[in-house]
Structure 1
Amino acid sequence: MPGNSILLGPRSQLPAAASKQDFRRRKRGLQSLLGQPDLLGFTWPPLAVIQVHLLPSFSSSPGLCLSVTMLLLAPRLLPLLPLLLVIGTGGSVPSPQTLPQGCYRAEEAGEQTFRCSRAGLSAVPNGIPNDTRKLYLDANQLASVPDGAFQHLPALEELDLSHNALVHLSGAAFQGLEATLRHLDLSANQLASVPVAAFVGLQIQVNLSANPWRCDCALQEVLRHVRLAPGSGTGIVCGPEARPDLVGHEFLLLIREEELCGTGRGGTRRSTDVALFVTMGGWLTLVVAYLIRYVWQNRDETRRVVKRAPPVRPVRSEDSSTLSTML
């Protein structure tokens, strides 16, 4: 602006026609310019305007005058510095949250979905949006799920961890999802056993098929806390870590015949059978004892009756002859 250059330059550069009144008028114009809001709506304090009154004292030093001018204008340029840097580098404003590689957001059936299928993940990724309702981490290389891995997802309803390499599941893996999680897919992993604590408090439908299950009491307890996904029960088969006589058998068929949460190899059912046999043996013993006592009592009674009977007199030969003659 011509007015600014004349005012900020050395006093010796002023035209001869410039009077003191003209100098004051140009100074007031600069003051009104510095007092206006900038592009972002900021109005800078009047300190920058007050400094204008000091400019005439630097009329003998043009370099010093230029430095003061830059100091006066610098506060007005600071809010625009990020935009200037972006324009200068030819880039774009970075996203506030970078998505993991191979993952993307989508809206499926009106619900926020986050898919990381076949993304080569070896751990649960960071940067999952908090409003995610459906999370797909299937077909990766996840080997474990640590404590509270999904507790920052308060709206999560469906979680797919199928076709991974899960061998361990923490007891607090699904902590924080008790009120929202409804569907969980753990199929086609390497799970031999899972802690019951991981499912306590959850009201979920779970798919546990295609895992090498140990078929132990822990798995039986898990099934008491969850509902199996339709058609997935036949896929819960005992793996190589199970008892030799259970390997290859369907778990649901086994627990219909045998209770696995008892003591000993056969579990509670075998203990129940033993108790039944003992009870039956006790009753049989009582019956036999009663019969023996009954027999002995009858024997003693028979002896007493025999003793009380009158003796039989022998028939004499004379009586016999008299009787025969009379006949």
Structure 2
Amino acid sequence: MCEVWSAAEFFGHVPLTAVLWLLMMTESAGNCPRSCHCSDRGGMVVQCMSRSLDTIPSELPRDTAVLLLSSNSIKHIPREAFGELPHLKELDLSHNNIESVEVGAFHGVSEGLRMLDLSNNLLSSLPRDTFTHIHARVRLSHNPWHCGCALQEVLRELRLDPETVTEVSCHTSIQDKYVGQPVIHVLDSGVNFCTFHQKTTDVAMFVAMFCWFSMVTAYIVYYIRHNQEDARRHMEYLKSLPSTAHSSKDYESASSVF
């Protein structure tokens, strides 16, 4: 016959460490978002793939080690989006519609993160400090990247996943000849997009200054001509006055008398 224990008797026969472990497991399972599936595999794995999510789920288990958010409709990664997940090791955001990532989006997980997948999204550029302090292997393949100084500075700050590094290509570029080429090959050939950017900026400043100088010169010329025309009209007006000729004759008569 099976012996039935009360709750007090059960916890009295179970070691305290086991009780704490059970409570932690219950708490973690209870915090799992409804749209996700959570399982403990030597670290909490949270699967939220293909759930039509347009934002990152809230109230994720704090002990999440692996977060899988691929194949959803997420468009934007806000600042400190994963700041409550200090144990996060792997983050999969691939196959979404991500167009923008705020600076500090990975603040709080950057030190411990080992894999970050942003492939197959709609990213064309990223803020320079997006990946500050991140030591993870980062996947950026199959995005419509614009090859310019901003992208070059971002790539300088991170470690691209070697398996997909050649799949990070220029969708657009400040020079058309680089469109379609892997970014890593372009940069390895000695191309410096930031130099092009500086030259473009210098040319733009020169054009702006030239236009400004031309406008000032045109205004001065107009001002001088306008004043000359006003002076000419004034002289003609003075000459046309009858009193002017009469006064002149009186003055000549007076002068001859003296």
User: Could you tell me how far 1:107 is from its partner in structure 2?
Assistant: 2.7
Tell me which amino acid in the other structure corresponds to 1:156: L
Q: For residue 64 of structure 2, what is the aligned residue in structure 1?
A: 132
Q: For residue 151 of structure 1, what is the aligned residue in structure 2?
A: 83
Contact 2:29 2:38 in 1 (8 A): no
Of residues 139, 147, 154, the one that matches 1:215 is 147
Change in 2 beyond 3 A, CA 1:241/1:101: farther
**Is 1:199 aligned to 2:131, yes or no?**
yes
CA distance in structure 2 between the partners assigned to 1:128 and 1:99 by the alignment: 6
CA distance in structure 2 between the partners assigned to 1:100 and 1:150 by the alignment: 15
User: Could you tell me how far 1:187 is from its partner in structure 2?
Assistant: 0.3
Q: For residue 179 of structure 2, what is the aligned residue in structure 1?
A: 247
User: Could you tell me how far 1:169 is from its partner in structure 2?
Assistant: 0.5
Q: For residue 104 of structure 1, what is the aligned residue in structure 2?
A: 37
CA distance in structure 1 between the partners assigned to 2:174 and 2:144 by the alignment: 9
Tell me which amino acid in the other structure corresponds to 2:93: L
User: Could you tell me how far 1:177 is from its partner in structure 2?
Assistant: 1.4
**Is 1:237 aligned to 2:169, yes or no?**
yes
User: Could you tell me how far 1:245 is from its partner in structure 2?
Assistant: 2.2
CA distance in structure 2 between the partners assigned to 1:243 and 1:190 by the alignment: 21
CA distance in structure 1 between the partners assigned to 2:82 and 2:60 by the alignment: 9
Q: Output the TM-score relative to the length of structure 1.
A: 0.50
Residue-by-residue CA offset, 1:288-308 (whole Å, 9 max, x unaligned): xxxxxxxxxxxxxxxxxxxxx
CA distance in structure 1 between the partners assigned to 2:187 and 2:29 by the alignment: 52
Tell me which amino acid in the other structure corresponds to 1:141: S
Contact 1:196 1:222 in 2 (8 A): yes
Q: For residue 205 of structure 2, what is the aligned residue in structure 1?
A: none
User: Could you tell me how far 1:181 is from its partner in structure 2?
Assistant: 1.1
Change in 2 beyond 3 A, CA 1:266/1:259: farther
**Is 1:264 aligned to 2:199, yes or no?**
yes
Q: For this pair of structures, how many residues does the alignment match?
A: 176
Q: For residue 113 of structure 2, what is the aligned residue in structure 1?
A: 181
CA distance in structure 2 between the partners assigned to 1:136 and 1:157 by the alignment: 11
Tell me which amino acid in the other structure corresponds to 1:99: C
Of residues 88, 93, 97, the one that matches 1:165 is 97
CA distance in structure 2 between the partners assigned to 1:191 and 1:99 by the alignment: 29
CA distance in structure 1 between the partners assigned to 2:183 and 2:81 by the alignment: 29
User: Could you tell me how far 1:248 is from its partner in structure 2?
Assistant: 1.0
CA distance in structure 1 between the partners assigned to 2:170 and 2:201 by the alignment: 16
Contact 2:37 2:46 in 1 (8 A): yes
Q: Give 1 or 2: higher strand fraction.
A: 2
Q: For residue 116 of structure 1, what is the aligned residue in structure 2?
A: 48
CA distance in structure 2 between the partners assigned to 1:122 and 1:101 by the alignment: 15
- Rg (Cα) greater in structure: 1
User: Could you tell me how far 1:105 is from its partner in structure 2?
Assistant: 0.5
User: Could you tell me how far 1:115 is from its partner in structure 2?
Assistant: 0.7
CA distance in structure 2 between the partners assigned to 1:177 and 1:256 by the alignment: 30
CA distance in structure 2 between the partners assigned to 1:170 and 1:99 by the alignment: 25
Aligned-residue Cα RMSD (Å) equals 2.6
> Which protein has greater RCO, CA pairs closer than 8 Å, 6+ apart?
2
CA distance in structure 1 between the partners assigned to 2:79 and 2:164 by the alignment: 26
Contact 1:192 1:241 in 2 (8 A): no
Q: Output the TM-score relative to the length of structure 2.
A: 0.63
CA distance in structure 2 between the partners assigned to 1:226 and 1:236 by the alignment: 13
Give unpaired runs (5+ residues) of structure 1: 1-39, 42-94, 268-327
Contact 1:159 1:184 in 2 (8 A): yes
